Amino acid sequence: MAGTQKLNGIPVEDVQWKRKELEEQKFVTDFIEERLNRFGIADYTKKGPVSQQAANLVHLKSVFSFNRDILNGKTGEFISVLHPTPSVCGLPRRKAYEYINSLEHHNREYYTGFLGTVNVDNDTRVFVNLRCMKVLKNHFALFMGAGITSGSDPESEWEETNQKMMTMLNVINSLNNP
């Protein structure tokens, strides 16, 4: 998933994506396809990019599916080859990772990690944790971000991050108004 905008009351299928968002999605999609090929996985299906509604936001995503038997028991190794994707780390991956670590002075904790089920009932579903909330004794810590490309507008990226945060804040506020 890469590319987010506010839904603004229109049907999801009518959402128009800007060049920057399509480019951001293509970076991630191309990376995943390259990693699938690197791991010897040629027999997969790709759906997308498609728009996916999440509360008052819509995201641009592509879905990849393949038979996990292709991994020959190397699910963990495959996840390591795939993660982190450009949506949370950038490209080229090693250089971007080192650059982010030189700038960020906080621990991302669960943010941008992955979670899911591995080999449960012969099924594996793993997702990148793009938004999360840590519940502490007297407050909540929210984690979210935006994808930055050469076509990014800093104010638009900040607004996108705020829109994502509002989704989490709405969950917190709903706890006060059952």
Domains of the chain: 4-176 (3.60.120.10)
Which tens digit of pLDDT belongs to each residue from 32-89? 999 999 999 999 999 999 999 988 889 999 999 998 889 888 988 999 999 999 989 9
The percent of residues above 90 in pLDDT, for the chain, comes to 46
Query: Is the predicted pLDDT of residue 134 greater than 70, yes or no?
Result: yes
Query: Is the predicted pLDDT of residue 122 greater than 80, yes or no?
Result: no
Please enumerate in sequence order all residues whose Cβ is within 8 A of that of 3, keeping only pairs 6 or more positions apart, or say none. 17, 21, 22, 24, 25, 49, 59, 60, 147
**Arithmetic mean of pLDDT over the chain:** 89
Query: Is the predicted pLDDT of residue 177 greater than 80, yes or no?
Result: no
Which has more confidence, 47 or 123? 47
The percent of residues above 70 in pLDDT, for the chain, comes to 99
Q: In what order do the strands lie in the sheet with 57-65?
A: 4-6, 57-65, 45-54
178 pLDDT tier (thresholds 50, 70, 90): low
Question: Of 17, 87, 85, which Cα lies nearest the Cα of 51?
Answer: 17
Angle 79-45-72 from CA coordinates, rounded to 5°: 45
CA dist., res. 9 & res. 58, Å (int): 11
Query: Is the predicted pLDDT of residue 1 greater than 80, yes or no?
Result: no
Say how many CA atoms lie within 13 Å of 41 toward its Cβ: 23
Query: Could you tell me the pTM of the whole model?
Result: 0.85
Per-residue burial over 97-109, b = 16 or more CB atoms within 10 Å of its CB, e = otherwise? eeeeeeeeeeeee
Q: Are 126 and 114 in contact (CB under 8 A)?
A: yes
pLDDT at 132: 87
Which has more confidence, 155 or 177? 155
CA dist., res. 6 & res. 57, Å (int): 5
Query: Is the predicted pLDDT of residue 119 greater than 80, yes or no?
Result: no
Query: Is the predicted pLDDT of residue 98 greater than 90, yes or no?
Result: yes
